[in-house]
Amino acid sequence: SSELTQDPSVSVALGQTVRITCQGDSLRSSYAGWYQQKPGQAPVLVMYGKHNRPSGIPDRFSGSSSGNTASLTITGAQAEDEGDYYCNCRDSSANHLVFGGGTKLTVL
C-alpha cells in the first residue's frame, strides 16, 4: 500500500513534548518529509531524511523512523508551532509522492 496514515489531531501543553506519527509500508524503504502548514499559508518543510532540519527550523523539531513508522517530535512546544503537519515519502515506484492525511496540532 502507498498510503500514509496520521492521527487527525494531537494536542500538547505549552512547553511540553509532542510526537506526531506517520505510518505506511512505503516508509520501510523511504524516509519521510515533514511539513508544517498554517492557515492560509503554503506548507513549509520542517524535517527530511533520517533527521535533517532545513535552515531556519528550530532545533526543538526532531525526526525519527522505525520500520513502517516515521515520527516528528517537538520538544518544548511553542504557541507558534500550532498548525497542520503532513508527512510524505516516495511510493514503491520512486516516481510518485504520497502524503499523509495531516495532523492538526493544538498547543494548549
Partner 1 sequence: QVQLVESGGGVVQPGRSLRLSCTASGFSISDYAMHWVRQAPGKGLEWVAVIWFDGSNEFYADSVKGRFTISRDESKNTLYLHMNSLRPEDRAVYYCARDGLVGATRVSFLDHWGQGTLVTVSS
Residues interacting with partner 1, by CB under 8 A? Answer: 31-33, 35, 37, 41-45, 48-49, 54, 84, 86, 88, 90, 93-102
Sign of torsion over alpha carbons 18, 23, 29, 35: negative
By beta-carbon proximity to partner 1, the closer residue of 31 and 68 is 31
Nearest approach, Cβ of residue 47 and partner 1 (Å)? 9
Strand partners, 71: 21, 64
- Rounded to whole angstroms, the Cα distance separating 17 from 71 reads 13
Nearest approach, Cβ of residue 34 and partner 1 (Å)? 8
- Rounded to whole angstroms, the Cα distance separating 68 from 93 reads 17
Block residue for cell numbers 510518485: 96
By beta-carbon proximity to partner 1, the closer residue of 25 and 76 is 25
By beta-carbon proximity to partner 1, the closer residue of 62 and 76 is 62
